Chains A and B, each alone.
Chain A
């Protein structure tokens, strides 16, 4: 029996100690009528070798196509040292650091993470992570409603250029608590949210506004103007940001006159592979005045009985295990292992390394856009500055084009038809520092062939 160490002698002696004839007797409090049958659809056990073979076959079926999708998850080089350390048993199989003295490794690492995230985002305090970027935005909106005492409306402005799945998750998570979401349109030429679109809300009671930078299209928003308008109107500002971009872009703590109130986003670009969709981690930072409204675990530095510095979970009275129905959130687990990866990644790269990754991403994506827009039938959608993604307009539906590219081993981008039908056939495509010039050329060649071989729509 895998992983169960008991010998026949162990079993016999333990049963004797307990005073029962067999293991079945240990379940004698369970009514016979409830006892289940054989679990017919579970296959027989596989040895480790057999399951290894099975998984390798499944993996081989999927292969490793060349990736040009971003859309919320980004392929970056992860230094080998990161996961070599993350998968050490002491990190991998440790629990939540409730017994602080036995968890100083995890706790100090989380404190370092919090320190790095506050600086990266230009804010004053960070939590120890949330589940992912989408749920982090939902938690940020709920937090804004709690924190903005002056506003009673619970109305929140969301850009149409905010990641559409984030908007769906927001509705699913925060919709039951009477939050009302309203959409700010994006400008058709620039692909960005304009201060002009905010004018109709002047004088209204709006609790908060979300700004994503770069936005879902990869375009850079005019964050200063948006932030200042929101603050003048009594709104709190929630920034949703890409952590890699913060190496080069002005951090949200410096947007506008006052800086934003809450920052959140997806931490996956920091040392976490694409992993077929997860696990990732969400991050959240804020001003010190809002720290008690911030959900999730927080690590604090203190001293022990001998006056030595040590780390412990703090402000736990806000959390579910104490406050119960009045908790700031129901969150229990965070994403400890992934935060470990993110922290080690940031330590290895440092500010300079992260800046060079960001710069390389911008360079590669510019090369990608250049190469693809040379192909007849492919145009750039928006004319504003970008980070490392771009929207390209095609002369025919995108889905079949992507299938044809997939058959050639290239995952070309994300089809915007479902979420942004007004754009017409539109493709969101991304190149990071991981895409070599030869790979970009290969994509351009393949796309050229695909578009030539089929008739234009």
Chain B
């Protein structure tokens, strides 16, 4: 089931000539700037290219083909309608710098998206420009810094991060010129309020949190956490990666957060695309409104226009060359319009139903929950440390063997706090039969681990490749094809 590289299928002179524009006069370029040898790109016919990339696609797992319970990624169904209507030729053919008079249709969609996102998050302002969750985080921390600087409080450069946080959080803090202060979680998964009180002070710029946390658990004392941080002069940042758990039930604005980033490619079902594009829209409370990244869609009566540095002179600036990932934003808009008010409530209800059902059934099947006795939000954690101890099968081995059973593995080894963990998020769009099948597979694999642990170590067996040598990949770097 392997596919040669496209370069290995090339032949000199072979080409897809239907794609070449009409030949004209050869361009005159200064000799010193002219390219001497052509770049090494494929030389294949159109059918060869189509066949090659179609066959490559068939080597992938995807939501459209497999149950994909990746915790913290919210792999729900990507409705085809979102793609179709976001790619209407008028939206697709529009240049971002074309006059606003020619873009009222798309701008109305974006404006309404801003308004809907404000409502579901309980925030006062929304900017759609960050192009991914990590950029949204960057915008959030940058706004917090801008806020303190505007108040001449230059000492506030410390960002508090729970030890269970996603790696982008501390990385973002560093990118914003802040230092990171980690605080430990309690054994039950909640934040240690005493540790928090000890950690805040005049150097605190803010805290980065997600709720439910990366441990899949709702921080019940979030208002107290907010009070502690606010009283110390810091602001609260909400990592919206887990918004699917509370959509329509709780709003980050109501929990006391000052800024949130959303992952439209998670909660609002825009496609994951093999690693992007994402969209990390940010929402802010009243005090951060002046600092929002630009541009933002504004409305004067029934006309829409772009708000820029003249309207927000204290903005943290532009994070993209244009106005963010418009195509992704349109897909999120269409999704939200198809869900509507009622549908927005149902998302978290069924995400929680599926997660708690799966958690209950796996616990009953003998798997160890990392936080028994807590409700799952939209995801939960299993620890396979018992299995690892008993017969040496670890989370990696289970994950690889699940692939043979036709399931994409859950997230492994995140959060770092829980040893040999699987972070499992079924999402609301999965039918019960799919969940039951997953439980059966996990049970069967556990059986295999008990009778023949070596079997798991050698998994997967039925995929295009066996387990890959990561060490060799990093030591003997082969990052680009070279002609023989």
In-complex A–B contact (CB below 8 Å): yes
Q: Determine whether A315 belongs to the interface, using a CB cutoff of 8 Å to chain B.
A: yes
Interface residues of B in 398-427 (CB under 8 A from A): 399-400, 403, 408-409, 414
**Chain B residues whose C-beta falls within 8 Å of the C-beta of A103 in the assembled complex:** 59-61, 274
Contact B105 A61 (CB under 8 A): yes
Chain B nearest CB from A240 CB (Å) reads 11
Q: Determine whether B255 belongs to the interface, using a CB cutoff of 8 Å to chain A.
A: yes
Q: Give the B interface residue count (CB, 8 A).
A: 201
Q: How far is the CA of A37 from the CA of B401 in the complex (A)?
A: 44
Contact for A278 among B64, B68, B323, B354, CB less than 8 A: B323
Chain A nearest CB from B390 CB (Å) reads 24
Contact B134 A277 (CB under 8 A): no
Contact for A26 among B135, B175, B343, B356, CB less than 8 A: B356
Contact for B33 among A67, A95, A249, CB less than 8 A: A249
Contact A88 B54 (CB under 8 A): yes
Q: Determine whether B186 belongs to the interface, using a CB cutoff of 8 Å to chain A.
A: no
Q: Determine whether A389 belongs to the interface, using a CB cutoff of 8 Å to chain B.
A: no
Q: Determine whether B455 belongs to the interface, using a CB cutoff of 8 Å to chain A.
A: no
Contact A320 B337 (CB under 8 A): no
**Chain A residues whose C-beta falls within 8 Å of the C-beta of B184 in the assembled complex:** none
**Chain B residues whose C-beta falls within 8 Å of the C-beta of A13 in the assembled complex:** 432
Contact B99 A406 (CB under 8 A): yes
Contact for B62 among A91, A104, A321, CB less than 8 A: A91
Q: Determine whether B451 belongs to the interface, using a CB cutoff of 8 Å to chain A.
A: no
**Chain A residues whose C-beta falls within 8 Å of the C-beta of B36 in the assembled complex:** 250, 254
Q: How far is the CA of A89 from the CA of B352 in the complex (A)?
A: 26
0/1 per residue, B455-484, Cβ < 8 Å to A?
Answer: 000101001111111101110111111000
Q: How far is the CA of A332 from the CA of B330 in the complex (A)?
A: 22
Q: Determine whether A92 belongs to the interface, using a CB cutoff of 8 Å to chain B.
A: yes
Contact A310 B81 (CB under 8 A): no
Contact for B274 among A247, A301, A337, CB less than 8 A: A337
Contact B46 A17 (CB under 8 A): no
Q: Determine whether B369 belongs to the interface, using a CB cutoff of 8 Å to chain A.
A: no
Contact A29 B477 (CB under 8 A): no
Contact A4 B346 (CB under 8 A): yes
Contact A67 B95 (CB under 8 A): yes
Q: How far is the CA of A331 from the CA of B26 in the complex (A)?
A: 41
Q: Determine whether B344 belongs to the interface, using a CB cutoff of 8 Å to chain A.
A: yes
**Chain B residues whose C-beta falls within 8 Å of the C-beta of A331 in the assembled complex:** 132, 134
Given contacts A128-B275, A173-B319, A406-B101, contact A51 B81 (CB under 8 A): yes
Select from chain A the residue with minimum beta-carbon distance to B25. A363
0/1 per residue, A315-353, Cβ < 8 Å to B?
Answer: 101011111111101111111111010011011111111
Given contacts A102-B403, A330-B168, contact A71 B97 (CB under 8 A): yes
Contact for A34 among B29, B254, B399, B414, CB less than 8 A: B254
Contact A314 B477 (CB under 8 A): yes
Q: How far is the CA of A124 from the CA of B480 in the complex (A)?
A: 8
Q: Determine whether A198 belongs to the interface, using a CB cutoff of 8 Å to chain B.
A: no
The winner among B52, B220, B350 for most chain A CB atoms within 10 A is B350
Contact B16 A353 (CB under 8 A): yes
**Chain A residues whose C-beta falls within 8 Å of the C-beta of B327 in the assembled complex:** 275-276, 278-279
Chain A nearest CB from B41 CB (Å) reads 5
**Chain A residues whose C-beta falls within 8 Å of the C-beta of B414 in the assembled complex:** 321
Q: How far is the CA of A178 from the CA of B39 in the complex (A)?
A: 37
Given contacts A73-B96, A94-B273, A301-B473, contact A348 B175 (CB under 8 A): no
Chain B nearest CB from A132 CB (Å) reads 6
Given contacts A29-B374, A314-B474, A315-B474, contact A36 B479 (CB under 8 A): no
Interface residues of A in 263-310 (CB under 8 A from B): 266, 273-281, 288, 291, 297-306, 308-310
Contact B33 A172 (CB under 8 A): no
Stretch of A162-170, A180-188, A444-452 contacting B (4+ beta carbons < 8 Å): A162-170
Q: How far is the CA of A343 from the CA of B472 in the complex (A)?
A: 26
0/1 per residue, A31-51, Cβ < 8 Å to B?
Answer: 101111011111111111001
**Chain A residues whose C-beta falls within 8 Å of the C-beta of B177 in the assembled complex:** 176-178
Contact A97 B33 (CB under 8 A): no
Q: How far is the CA of A330 from the CA of B142 in the complex (A)?
A: 13
Given contacts A38-B341, A330-B168, A350-B43, contact A89 B65 (CB under 8 A): yes
Contact for A42 among B89, B106, B341, CB less than 8 A: B341
**Chain A residues whose C-beta falls within 8 Å of the C-beta of B103 in the assembled complex:** 62, 276
Stretch of A105-113, A153-161, A369-377 contacting B (4+ beta carbons < 8 Å): A105-113
Contact B15 A17 (CB under 8 A): no
Q: Determine whether A28 belongs to the interface, using a CB cutoff of 8 Å to chain B.
A: yes
Select from chain A the residue with minimum beta-carbon distance to B101. A406
**Chain B residues whose C-beta falls within 8 Å of the C-beta of A38 in the assembled complex:** 341
Q: Determine whether A207 belongs to the interface, using a CB cutoff of 8 Å to chain B.
A: no
Given contacts A3-B79, A433-B21, contact A330 B137 (CB under 8 A): yes
Q: Determine whether A119 belongs to the interface, using a CB cutoff of 8 Å to chain B.
A: yes
Stretch of A74-82, A143-151, A229-237 contacting B (4+ beta carbons < 8 Å): A74-82
Chain B nearest CB from A282 CB (Å) reads 9
Contact B93 A298 (CB under 8 A): no
The winner among A51, A254, A273, A276 for most chain B CB atoms within 10 A is A276
Q: Determine whether B342 belongs to the interface, using a CB cutoff of 8 Å to chain A.
A: yes
Q: Determine whether B160 belongs to the interface, using a CB cutoff of 8 Å to chain A.
A: no
Contact A411 B54 (CB under 8 A): no
Contact B428 A298 (CB under 8 A): no
0/1 per residue, B133-159, Cβ < 8 Å to A?
Answer: 111011000100100000000000000
Cross-chain pairs A/B with CB under 8 angstroms, 25 sampled: A1-B346, A31-B223, A33-B223, A45-B340, A58-B105, A62-B105, A77-B19, A94-B63, A94-B273, A116-B39, A116-B41, A171-B317, A250-B34, A277-B323, A279-B325, A300-B478, A303-B469, A326-B174, A327-B167, A330-B137, A330-B172, A331-B132, A352-B38, A357-B20, A360-B24
The list of the 10 closest CB pairs from A to B, nearest first, reads: A45-B340, A89-B64, A337-B273, A172-B317, A277-B96, A336-B275, A277-B322, A279-B277, A58-B105, A336-B274
9 further contact pairs, Cβ within 8 A, besides A18-B356, A40-B119, A310-B468: A42-B344, A94-B61, A96-B275, A114-B479, A247-B38, A276-B91, A332-B134, A337-B273, A357-B21
